Amino acid sequence: MAIGMLRGANSRFRSLLDGMKAEGDLARQEGALTELCDMLCMATEETLQGFSMDQFLPPLINLINCEVQDVPLPCNPCCALPSG
């Protein structure tokens, strides 16, 4: 895989991580979570080289644990994550 593609994947993961951490911006969190789900569904070993589970778990756990009421978004990301 080309180095430029790896840098692009790393910056995309960084952007998604920032979106998941955007407290108070539920639309941005939902968009980041949805895109992360899409990327992980289509991921290969090469495309996951820049993915750090250690960095993504804390914000994902925060989203799972959030207690916002009456918000029709994956404030419970378990509903948005693909099962399989």
pLDDT of residue 79: 53
pLDDT of residue 77: 52
Q: What is the pTM of this model?
A: 0.68
Give domain status of residue 32, yes or no: yes
Query: What is the average pLDDT score of the chain?
Result: 76
For the chain, how many structural domains are there in total?
Answer: 1
Q: Which domain holds residue 61?
A: 3-71
Give domain status of residue 36, yes or no: yes
pLDDT of residue 22: 92
Contact 76, 64 (CB under 8 A): yes
Angle at the Cα of 76 from the Cα atoms of 42 and 18, rounded to 5 degrees: 60
Res 28 pLDDT > 90: yes
Residue 32's pLDDT band, with cuts at 50, 70 and 90, is: very high
Q: How many angstroms separate the CA atoms of 10 and 50, rounded?
A: 5
Question: What are the structure tokens assigned to 22, written together?
Answer: 């955007």
CA atoms within 13 A on the CB side of 39: 20
pLDDT of residue 18: 94
